[in-house]
Amino acid sequence: MSNRLQLAASASLIALIFLCLSWELWLAPLKPGGSWMAAKSFPLLLPLFGILKGRRYSYQVSSLLALLYLLEGSVRATSDAGPSQWLAVIETLLALVFFVSVVAYARLSAPSRTPQD
């Protein structure tokens, strides 16, 4: 079960990074030619290696970070129009999958829940 959660968290995090970059640079940037809003993907790079290695602390911290992207996606999904609105819906879904998987992984990997030898 924890392997599936780790895979879901890793895949959704990587997809969220690529979505944020491509959204603000090519797909629907705020300004033609790209915008500095692409920098919103940089905080997602901080926990990336910890998530890929299965470090519990990275999962705990990432759960708080995921909420920011969930919030931004839901706000832009209701306020933007056109392609930006659909990209915001995708961001919301990816952030939701990421949030649920990191919280579930952190909960399952708690020292009180792991089998003792």
**Lowest mean pLDDT across 31-40, 61-70, 104-113:** 31-40
pLDDT band at 117, cuts 50/70/90? Answer: low
pLDDT band at 56, cuts 50/70/90? Answer: very high
pLDDT band at 109, cuts 50/70/90? Answer: confident
pLDDT at 116: 65
DSSP of the chain: -HHHHHHHHHHHHHHHHHHHHHIIIIIS-SSTT--GGGGGGHHHHTTHHHHHHT-HHHHHHHHHHHHHHHHHHHHHHHH--THHHHHHHHHHHHHHHHHHHHHHHHHHT-TTTSPP-
Instruction: Kindly state the average pLDDT of the residues 94-113.
Output: 92
Per-residue pLDDT reduced to its tens digit, 15-43: 999 999 999 888 988 777 777 888 899 99
pTM score, whole prediction? 0.90
CA separation for the pair 98, 76 (Å, rounded):
18
